A and B are shown apart, each in its own frame.
Chain A
Amino acid sequence: MMKATFKALADETRRKLLDELYVNNGQTLTQLCGLFDMSRQAVTKHLYLLESANLVTTVWDGREKLHYLNPVPIHEIAERWIGKYDRQRLQALSDLKKSLDKNKKGLTA
């Protein structure tokens, strides 16, 4: 799944599509095509890759298919390389504080 996320993010047009959905979420294929100087088929293919990587989710509204930005997989990546290190750092700070508090008590006693 993570491989699909990276592959999807590796292309500038696909990143631009995500940027456009960030600004204006829930757009149709026609709306998105209007923003790019490329064929409808090309935009469809990029959207398909984004959808396969779960970075875009779609909802049918009558006969219109609306595209929504789904940043959940990006947070999963952030957690893998950033979040858990933050947690360790916070744990280290909390250990340091405990140790300092203990020393302080030792000094005043």
Chain B
Amino acid sequence: MKRNQLVYVTFIRTTPKKLWDAIIKPEFARRYWAGNGNISDWKKGSKWQHVKVGEKDAVRIIGEVLECKPPKCLVLTWIDPDDPSEKSRVTFEIERLKDVVSLRVTHAGLTPRSGMEKGVSWGWPRVLSSLKSFLETGEGLNVYTGH
């Protein structure tokens, strides 16, 4: 079956380490990801969860850490806990350029026109522009307004 892929890039005035921490530490992520964060021990083969920070059992996404090379590359499986057959893969790639850091997010293996594809293609541009704002100004955006 055909699978879809989404690719997003943003350029952020920050350091690779700060960007890495903003992705893997829920105390930072919740400030630009609508209160959500990513929880794991970030070792290859470990489980990870995307959760609403501070809300017990509010698990939005689950998966496995396929690759973890701080502060450059993080690869995760991305699974809907209510429908584990809906399994895709997210890659974060961080690269230091001259005076900015580039972040490329590739979301691969999505079922065409699935709820997950619709949801993440709506969400990623918002989350990534909020992440940029958070790292550059200290303030995230109201990412999920109007949804």
Binding site for B on A (CB under 8 A): 1, 25-26, 54, 57, 59, 68, 70-76, 79, 83, 86-87, 90
Contact = CB atoms under 8 A, between A and B. Distances in A.
Contact of B125 (A26, A72, A87): A72
Interface of B: 4-11, 104, 106, 124-126, 128-129, 132-133, 141-142, 145
Given A68-B8, A86-B145, A90-B142, 20 more contacts: A26-B4, A26-B5, A26-B7, A57-B7, A57-B104, A59-B5, A68-B7, A70-B7, A70-B9, A72-B124, A72-B128, A72-B129, A75-B126, A75-B128, A75-B129, A76-B129, A76-B132, A79-B133, A79-B141, A83-B141
Given A79-B129, A86-B142, A86-B145, A59 B8 contact: no
Contact of B8 (A1, A70, A76, A86): A70
Contacts of B5: 25-26, 59, 68
A25 B104 CA distance: 16
A57 B125 CA distance: 13
Contacts of A73: 10
A25 B4 contact: yes
A36 to B, nearest CB: 22
Nearest to B126: A75
Contacts of B10: 54, 72-73
B140 to A, nearest CB: 10
A13 B129 CA distance: 26
B145 A72 contact: no
Query: 4 tightest A-B contacts by CB?
Result: A75-B129, A68-B7, A71-B125, A57-B9
Given A25-B6, A57-B8, A68-B5, A75 B125 contact: yes
29 contacts: A25-B5, A26-B4, A26-B5, A54-B10, A57-B8, A57-B104, A59-B5, A59-B106, A68-B6, A70-B7, A70-B8, A70-B9, A70-B125, A72-B8, A72-B9, A72-B124, A72-B125, A74-B125, A75-B126, A75-B128, A76-B129, A76-B133, A79-B129, A79-B133, A79-B141, A83-B141, A83-B145, A86-B145, A90-B142
